[in-house]
Structure 1
């Protein structure tokens, strides 16, 4: 695991860092909350181990900011605090921390907690692997319509790689000719369960195509997620248009048939 360790005391953090490295973990060490946030932005770790009392920015505020950047992928944050600091534990858990360790840190307890987090992370990775291989494009956004995750089917349908779309507005995948943007992707929360609409998508090539979008809003403490399942219905639309054409035209000559003549004549 890649662990982000934030603690202003080198006397406390160095033994923890050495222990985790001996267990095969990669450790990025910083000495305050501000640097922890910057390190998280530079490279998202698998686990954050955070002291509470630090200069410049404490662990409570750093946890709050890191959790606001987590997006679709869960990154656990464990805080380190003294046994008597109940208010620190409560405030940091309220800020989004997932677990805590009592100082002085017992290495066996630390490793057991990390194994627990790793099991949850493995389940999460398995879920993302399933989503990546789903037939439909699956795109998650925050409440402002900014893309948080984007699977392989979405890459195939739209042509944009995930690295290009994550952090960008989902509206760039929707043609201006397609009518109104679905409410939840337009930053408007709706009370209904699943929002299912047929709109026009826009590929990276500039091609406009019909797509069906089903949106579901997931309530979370650190901000709701909008999960969108997108299906390219170009072939279905072409088949429907062909059926409509054959209903009003001769299949051999392509000329308007009698029902079409009567339909036009009756207008």
Structure 2
């Protein structure tokens, strides 16, 4: 330790100096206050021993200047004073001196003070080192958060949250949110909405929900249904996250054409469906354990279905909203959420809920991440129908540029994702890529028609009754599981017709057939989907037996540049 000793009395400098050096410290001497300040600036000692009364500059002012030069570094200043200099000593202590000694100096006391200060300086040094490490860690953590935030924004595809039927809001408890709201449309225009809540909050919780994004978006883009996506998300969570980590998830699929909602809730607060007049139409509590708890074979994929027949608002939120506490410890609760949402359209309901939470908290921060999502469901809103394609001359079947045939038996029909499998092939044909969504809708509806009505012999798909829809889906699942024979043949072929191309889709089933006229295929209750297919296609024809349907979709030419 370097010790600066400033005193105008040579005898004091000699006696005190010898003690300092005998304790193993480096000694720096000054004869007055002004010299003490100059020596301090040059040598940067660790401790200052200084007389109060000195020529040119007294100890009080010298100590103040030394403290100013030291800045944030703590340098203890110990003053040496006579009893009659008490007032000067008080002034010096107010200016920043740390301790004092009364003349004549007691060398035992001085030795003890120097050792005490040495211990304090060592502790102070360690504190500074730790503070420096903490500051470095904080800077590094902030950089990592910036990277993580950028990564989350890229993976979450926030631009998809601009869906006109969706309104959402997230308020993280820290810089990153462990809540995730993700939305995307299938090629068939079904809206998939996921609200996920990772355990904890901040960066750790945010990393917990990230594994869900890739299967959610990738499989939704390919047209997989809710159950298939859940299986893959559960697999990802179990594969990526450490033991003990899990993610609560609410997954909603909305088919705006058929006015149907499908819901799977695992650990998220109750979902609410409010009517236009504020009445509660339906409530969906959690029915499953969060993803990552159960082994994959034990995951329940049972979903709930609902058919809406009026303008309504579907509301989802994380527990961070309901458990937000004000200054008195009261929670925001479900009643306040219902009051803000009931009887209001989603955009207004979301604004009212955010304001209600702000007023409730009165400037306090939420202790957990908050997320809120609402879907505007309006049966009067008819999905946009594509313009009917102009019908030109149909191509000769022998002039196909390419052909792709697929025959599926009972086992394949039970387990193969047929439409997605076909669309993977279609995506490899350059002229068809831009029409992926339209072709998906055509293939999906015609395939389901062949399977349900042709092979399984189901009655027309109900459109406006929840119980009937549930019974229909259960009957479909049962008949498919018991299917022993029969097959569906699918043939895709591409033709060049003039300056455009034509895709032929032919689907044949080996069922008993539907002995009805072709018009009845378009007047049945689920005819909206078939009407969309007809609007998309240049030609759509069912044969008299009801076992075969042939559709032509107009596209670009199939010549691929070399």
CA distance, structure 2, for counterparts of residue 14 and residue 115 of structure 1: 20
- Cross-structure match for 1:107: 107
1:244: Cα distance to partner? 4.5
Aligned: 1:238 with 2:150: yes
**TM norm structure 2:** 0.28
1:26: Cα distance to partner? 0.7
CA distance, structure 2, for counterparts of residue 84 and residue 246 of structure 1: 76
When residues 231 and 37 of structure 1 are mapped into structure 2, their CA distance, relative to the original with a 3 A threshold, is farther
Aligned residue runs from structure 1 range 160-171, under 5 A:
none
- Cross-structure match for 1:98: 98
1:54: Cα distance to partner? 1.3
- Rg larger in 1 or in 2? 2
RMSD (Å), alpha carbons: 2.8
When residues 86 and 246 of structure 1 are mapped into structure 2, their CA distance, relative to the original with a 3 A threshold, is closer
CA distance, structure 2, for counterparts of residue 55 and residue 94 of structure 1: 21
CA distance, structure 2, for counterparts of residue 33 and residue 240 of structure 1: 61
Spell out, residue by residue over 1:222-255, the C-alpha distance to the aligned partner (whole angstroms, 9 max, x if none): xxxxxxxx822331232133135476497599x9
Spell out, residue by residue over 1:142-174, the C-alpha distance to the aligned partner (whole angstroms, 9 max, x if none): xxxxxxxxxxx58x86xxxxxxxxxxxxxxxxx
Unaligned regions of 5+ residues in structure 1, if any? 138-152, 158-229, 259-267
Unaligned regions of 5+ residues in structure 2, if any? 161-183, 185-216, 222-426, 428-433, 438-562
- Cross-structure match for 1:77: 77
Q: Does the aligned pair in 1 maintain the 2:101–2:110 contact within 8 Å?
A: yes
CA distance, structure 2, for counterparts of residue 8 and residue 118 of structure 1: 25
Q: Does the aligned pair in 1 maintain the 2:60–2:89 contact within 8 Å?
A: no
Aligned residue runs from structure 1 range 159-238, under 5 A:
231-232=142-143, 233-238=145-150
Spell out, residue by residue over 1:87-119, the C-alpha distance to the aligned partner (whole angstroms, 9 max, x if none): 121111111111111112121111011112122
- Cross-structure match for 1:38: 38
CA distance, structure 2, for counterparts of residue 45 and residue 96 of structure 1: 17
1:85: Cα distance to partner? 1.5
SS in 2 for 1:49: strand
CA distance, structure 2, for counterparts of residue 55 and residue 48 of structure 1: 17
SS in 1 for 2:84: coil
Pairs aligned (count): 167
CA distance, structure 2, for counterparts of residue 93 and residue 39 of structure 1: 21
- Cross-structure match for 2:25: 25
CA distance, structure 2, for counterparts of residue 22 and residue 122 of structure 1: 20
SS in 2 for 1:84: helix
CA distance, structure 1, for counterparts of residue 65 and residue 75 of structure 2: 13
SS in 2 for 1:53: coil
When residues 241 and 29 of structure 1 are mapped into structure 2, their CA distance, relative to the original with a 3 A threshold, is same
CA distance, structure 2, for counterparts of residue 9 and residue 231 of structure 1: 55
When residues 244 and 60 of structure 1 are mapped into structure 2, their CA distance, relative to the original with a 3 A threshold, is same
SS in 2 for 1:235: helix
Spell out, residue by residue over 1:121-157, the C-alpha distance to the aligned partner (whole angstroms, 9 max, x if none): 22212212222332x43xxxxxxxxxxxxxxx58x86
